[in-house]
Structure 1
Amino acid sequence: MGCCNKEQGLIAGAVIGAVVAILGGILFPVGDSIIKGTVDKESVIEPGTTAYDTWTSTGPPVYRQFWFFDVKNPLEVVQNGAKPEVMEKGPYTYRTRIYPRANITFNPNQTVSFLLPLNAVFEPAMSVGPEEDYVTSINLGVAGAYSLFPKGLHLFLNNLIKSSNSSLFQYRTVKELLWGYTDPMLKRTLGAFVPFNDTFDGFYTVYSGKEDISRVGIIDMWKGERSLPFWNDTYCDMINGTDASAFPPFLDKKKPLYFFSSDICRSVSASYEQSIDLKGIKLYRYTLLASTLASPTVNPDNKCFCTNPTTTRNCTLAGVLDIAPCKDLTPIFISLPHFLHGSPYLREAVLGLNPSEEHHKTFLDVEPTTGFSMRFAKRIQVNMMYGPSKVITILNKVQDYTIFPLLWMNETGELDQATADMFKKELISRIDMLETIQQVLLGLGLAVFALCLIGYCVVRRQRSKSGF
């Protein structure tokens, strides 16, 4: 009887272990469903959700750091046709995104519209010097007029340059070069970011995700239009993806992320590079590919961004984007800092450049479950172009077209510790707890089942040997 009772107990234990293991196994899909349902609900942009609370707040500090290219040999360039030699000077740091999204309006078609206020406040403690520091840089008025005036007006432009005592380079403060000064030749306000303070970017209209969470944050319209008016091409004028502050949840690292940047007047994509840890949170890092600014000979999709064959060497130049079509004809060329991923010609024309993947690439660190961007670095360089002229005196010695770097910007934001702790408590800890329960139940159940099954076999063998 003892052996029989022991066998029955072991069988019962094995059954219980199997049930516990099955329960643990069942919890995996059930737990995943619970997690997905919770994340889907909290990712919708509507009052009362985590996404909305995050979306409507100013969030962690966002900074714009500027490095200027200080010209060391301006006279040699003008008088002898020497290549300009530059030295990087910076950073000069400003806090931006001081105010939250404005004019938030919920629309009947499950979209929401808003404006992004633009302001910049100087941060002396994070800068190498005051805004009043001087830099020898390209003359914005002269370079701009040279790009816009046809050769038939070069004599007129030469007279303007002489009468205003202007030259190819100028000595200006950081504040003037960024936020504006009155140009003596053109009699208008010029600056790399004019106008900026107390202006707005948008209107943006994005999907709230209420009906389809896979579209949350996707831009429906920018400035009331579903496509851009700049490039005269269906592909290049597409507005794709989000504004990069967040993406639809449950990222698949095999698929790129798409976002639109008004700074460069186009949509771009970023691809998964690696998984990293930020304050105890696992993130996916996405970076821009070299093909983003590749020449049309390498990436045919970029052909519609090539609007000036003369300055782009018949559209073979890589690494720069002429954004004059979307900046009121201001002849600005955008690139990555130090012409990273650009044609060697760009770096050979200006001495002192040293591109680095580590310091000059653009990246997004995104939490894969929620799609929230937890850290980012948007790095772009502002350039202007000048070239030879037989009529304009200060350009007589110039040998070739030069795309000259004015400055490069690193716009960064990072999840603060308090928000990271809240995120881990509200989401990650619950997911971890659920996964732990699943694993404990499955492991304990399998262990009990295996031990009871082994015990049953041992008892049966002993009983067989004893003849009972």
Structure 2
Amino acid sequence: MGCNRNCGLLTGAIIGAVLAIFGGVLIPLGDYFVSKTIKKEVVIEKGTIAYENWIVPGSPVYRQFWIFDVQNPAEVMNGSRPILQQKGPYTYRMRYLAKLNITQNPDNTVSYMLPNIARFEPTMSAGTENDTVTCINLAVVAAPALYTNNFIQLLLNTWIKSSKSAMLQNRTVKEILWGYKDPFLEKVPFPLDSTVGVFYPYNGTSDGVYKVYNGKDDISKTAIIDSYKNKRNLSFWEGHCDLINGTDGSSFPPFVKKDSILRFFSSDICRSIYGIFTSDQVVKGIPLFRFSVPSAAFASPLINPDNMCFCTDPVVSKNCTSAGALDISSCKAGRPVYITLPHFLFASKDIQEAVEGLSPNKDEHETFLDVEPTTGFTLHFAKRLQVNLMVKPAPKIQTLSKIKEPYIFPLLWLNETAIIGDDKAEMFRSKVTSRINMLNMLQIALIIVGSVMFLAFMISYFVCRSKEFK
């Protein structure tokens, strides 16, 4: 009887040990099968999960615009510091159409164009497109940057005055964003496009051609841009600043780690940029890693020497000691456009103090991407940036003659955001997250149950053995 009992206890202990060992074996085995499945499904080709989500945005992409309204226009045109108040948001649905001209290339890349469409969403906006704001005059302020010759500027001054234009103007939100016929440019007796707008032309155009790796031959290169507009360099900057690095931000190669640096290219700011891990997030039941664009990406070259090649105008940027503003005039046909984070977040004091009314807030104004680490898919993001014009003294142009020194004048800021839709989230949970979680739970359960069984039966066995010898 004692022998049978002892044999049963040993058998139970052996079964427990086998279960624990099997649970341990499942860890590398499970990782292998997960890795194999993911490597198959994240390739950008027909029939994969990645391809279906890649062709059409997995969730609506919205752009919210806040326009800066000048509160003291008369004083500003006499050389005083602008007092600004933001109006908005004015919300548009963006890029909700499928990619265009998708072509699978023989070198394991895929080419495509991104369609540009903006549709106003009144229910998500604080006003209408016909709201009027007092803002900087795009054509007048840009003119002396484009034409530096004194004689030409005298002619410009004549046309500006005859069109009754000034440094500031009143325009509707729709005009500022998407374009309007400028009265000053219509006076210029040369053939040129007199329509101007911050995002003119946009609707009906397309961005690209993008050519990205599909990951078929090397999963670590999935979605990374090989070329943009048939070039691997931008021709705007010097050295490494001019390289097109990373993806377009909608996805990254799979198996993202917390110490990864996620690089992505944005045609809006004419440069590549990067994000670093800042926090864990859970969106609609899906665990994600948040990567945020750090202050170092906009730091002065004195703080971050890697940024020296973004410093193109040492005079304006105080011999490159200022931080937080990117001169992108070279990719805007010479127009003095500067990109910053909203409300001059991370910008130097000399930039911030040139205007009044801004309140930088990291939570509201930083750019981030929430990435599912196993697949590399971006399931939630917020791209935030501010569009500004550089205003400089121009003695030959009357309306700009009272400006004391160059400063960056905010025009608007935007928040482009998207979050995975409920249907897509359910699909993602069922096909990816739940399977990985189930495998992990099975591994843990087998190890715990097996270990507990082994210990319990072994303890019972030794207790029984000790009683038999007494």
Query: Same fold by TM (over 0.5)?
Result: yes
Q: 1:151 to 1:312 in 2, by over 3 A?
A: farther
Q: Secondary structure at the match of 1:104?
A: strand
- TM-superposed CA distance for 1:73, in Å, is 0.8
- TM-superposed CA distance for 1:151, in Å, is 5.4
Q: What aligned pairs does 1:44-83 form with structure 2 within 5 A after superposition?
A: 44-79=43-78, 81-83=79-81
Query: 1:367 corresponds to which residue?
Result: 372
Q: Are residue 250 (structure 1) and residue 255 (structure 2) matched?
A: yes
Q: What aligned pairs does 1:234-383 form with structure 2 within 5 A after superposition?
A: 234-383=239-388
- TM-superposed CA distance for 1:390, in Å, is 3.0
Q: Deviations over 1:91-115 (max 9, x none)?
A: 1111001211110000001000000
Structure 2 residue identity aligned to 1:285: R
Q: Secondary structure at the match of 1:143?
A: helix
Q: Secondary structure at the match of 2:4?
A: helix
Do the aligned residues in 2 keep the contact of 1:146 with 1:386 (CA within 8 Å)? no
Q: Are residue 142 (structure 1) and residue 163 (structure 2) matched?
A: no
Do the aligned residues in 1 keep the contact of 2:144 with 2:394 (CA within 8 Å)? no
Structure 2 residue identity aligned to 1:111: T
Query: 2:95 corresponds to which residue?
Result: 97
| Distance in structure 1 (CA, Å) of the matches to 2:301 and 2:136 | 28
Structure 1 residue identity aligned to 2:103: T
Deviates more, 1:282-291 or 1:422-431: 422-431
Q: Secondary structure at the match of 1:154?
A: helix
- TM-superposed CA distance for 1:292, in Å, is 1.0
| Distance in structure 1 (CA, Å) of the matches to 2:348 and 2:73 | 24
Do the aligned residues in 2 keep the contact of 1:380 with 1:408 (CA within 8 Å)? yes
Query: 1:158 corresponds to which residue?
Result: 157
- TM-superposed CA distance for 1:181, in Å, is 0.8
Q: Deviations over 1:238-263 (max 9, x none)?
A: 11110000001111111210000000
Q: 1:114 aligns with which of 89, 112, 115?
A: 112
Deviates more, 1:239-248 or 1:380-389: 380-389
| Distance in structure 2 (CA, Å) of the matches to 1:303 and 1:240 | 17
Q: Give the length in aligned residue pairs.
A: 462
- TM-superposed CA distance for 1:60, in Å, is 0.9
- TM-superposed CA distance for 1:147, in Å, is 2.0
Q: Secondary structure at the match of 1:383?
A: strand
Q: Are residue 437 (structure 1) and residue 437 (structure 2) matched?
A: no
Q: What aligned pairs does 1:164-179 form with structure 2 within 5 A after superposition?
A: 164-179=163-178
Alpha-carbon RMSD across the aligned residues, in angstroms, is 1.2
Where does structure 1 differ by over 6 angstroms across 4 or more consecutive aligned residues?
none
The unaligned stretches of length 5 or more in structure 1 are none
Query: 1:195 corresponds to which residue?
Result: 201
Structure 1 residue identity aligned to 2:212: V
- TM-superposed CA distance for 1:172, in Å, is 0.6
Do the aligned residues in 1 keep the contact of 2:293 with 2:368 (CA within 8 Å)? yes
- TM-superposed CA distance for 1:311, in Å, is 2.0
Query: 1:464 corresponds to which residue?
Result: 469
Structure 2 residue identity aligned to 1:52: Y
| Distance in structure 2 (CA, Å) of the matches to 1:157 and 1:314 | 30
Q: 1:228 aligns with which of 222, 227, 234?
A: 234
| Distance in structure 2 (CA, Å) of the matches to 1:363 and 1:317 | 23
Q: 1:387 to 1:331 in 2, by over 3 A?
A: closer
Query: 1:86 corresponds to which residue?
Result: 84
Q: Deviations over 1:123-142 (max 9, x none)?
A: 11111111111110000011
Q: Deviations over 1:74-105 (max 9, x none)?
A: 111223x2111111100111100121111000
Structure 1 residue identity aligned to 2:28: P
- TM-superposed CA distance for 1:226, in Å, is 1.4
Q: Secondary structure at the match of 2:183?
A: coil
| TM-score w.r.t. length of structure 2 | 0.96
- TM-superposed CA distance for 1:435, in Å, is 1.5
Structure 2 residue identity aligned to 1:88: Q
The unaligned stretches of length 5 or more in structure 2 are 187-193
Structure 1 residue identity aligned to 2:104: F
Structure 2 residue identity aligned to 1:350: V
- TM-superposed CA distance for 1:304, in Å, is 1.4
Structure 1 residue identity aligned to 2:130: E
- TM-superposed CA distance for 1:146, in Å, is 2.3
Do the aligned residues in 1 keep the contact of 2:370 with 2:381 (CA within 8 Å)? yes
Q: 1:210 aligns with which of 207, 212, 216?
A: 216
Q: Deviations over 1:131-187 (max 9, x none)?
A: 111110000011111222215243233222212211110001111111111111123
- TM-superposed CA distance for 1:309, in Å, is 2.0
Query: 2:191 corresponds to which residue?
Result: none
Query: 1:449 corresponds to which residue?
Result: 454
Structure 2 residue identity aligned to 1:226: R
Q: Deviations over 1:218-242 (max 9, x none)?
A: 00010011111211x2301111110
Q: 2:129 aligns with which of 128, 131, 140?
A: 131
Structure 2 residue identity aligned to 1:428: T
Q: Secondary structure at the match of 1:186?
A: helix
Q: Secondary structure at the match of 1:112?
A: strand
| Distance in structure 1 (CA, Å) of the matches to 2:423 and 2:96 | 19
Query: 1:419 corresponds to which residue?
Result: 424
Structure 2 residue identity aligned to 1:157: L
Do the aligned residues in 2 keep the contact of 1:147 with 1:386 (CA within 8 Å)? no
| Distance in structure 2 (CA, Å) of the matches to 1:217 and 1:8 | 59
Q: Could you tell me the percent identity over the aligned residues? A: 52
Query: 1:18 corresponds to which residue?
Result: 17
| Distance in structure 2 (CA, Å) of the matches to 1:107 and 1:316 | 45
| TM-score w.r.t. length of structure 1 | 0.97
| Distance in structure 1 (CA, Å) of the matches to 2:308 and 2:319 | 10
Q: Deviations over 1:392-426 (max 9, x none)?
A: 22233221112100000110111111211111111
Q: Deviations over 1:280-332 (max 9, x none)?
A: 11111111111111122222211211222222222222111111111222221
Query: 1:6 corresponds to which residue?
Result: 5
Do the aligned residues in 1 keep the contact of 2:56 with 2:96 (CA within 8 Å)? no
